[in-house]
Amino acid sequence: MPGTPIRIAVVFEPGKKARPVWFELNRRQHKITETTYHWKEQVGAATLLHYAVTDGDALYELIYNSQDQSWLLNGIELT
């Protein structure tokens, strides 16, 4: 699977979906101001949770792999 492994902070609230709040890329912390879209995909045994998020400067696609519990940055679109 393509993507760059990232360090991320996520809030899990009872009865709600996981909410990414910040991630680090190139030693810089990006605070997520909005999740614009999210979707789920099944790839073999892994469930992938995709999040389209913004920090106000760019749009990022973050992916959580439920099988190995890893997070990846899959794409960046500058605004």
What is the rounded distance in angstroms from the CA atom of residue 75 to the CA atom of residue 67? 21
Average pLDDT score over residue span 7-21: 92
What is the per-residue pLDDT across 18-53, written as a single tens digit (0 to 9) for each? 899 999 998 999 999 999 999 999 999 999 999 999
**For 27-34, which contacts have Cβ atoms below 8 Å and span 24 or more sequence positions?**
30/55, 30/60, 31/55
Q: Which residues of 4-16 are buried (b: 16+ CB within 10 A; e: fewer)?
A: eebebeeeeeeee
How many domains are there within the chain?
1
Say if pTM beats, i.e. exceeds, 0.85: yes
Identify the domain containing residue 56 by its residue range. Answer: 4-78
* pLDDT value, residue 2: 65
Nearest to 23 by CA among 62, 76, 56: 62
pLDDT, mean over the chain: 94
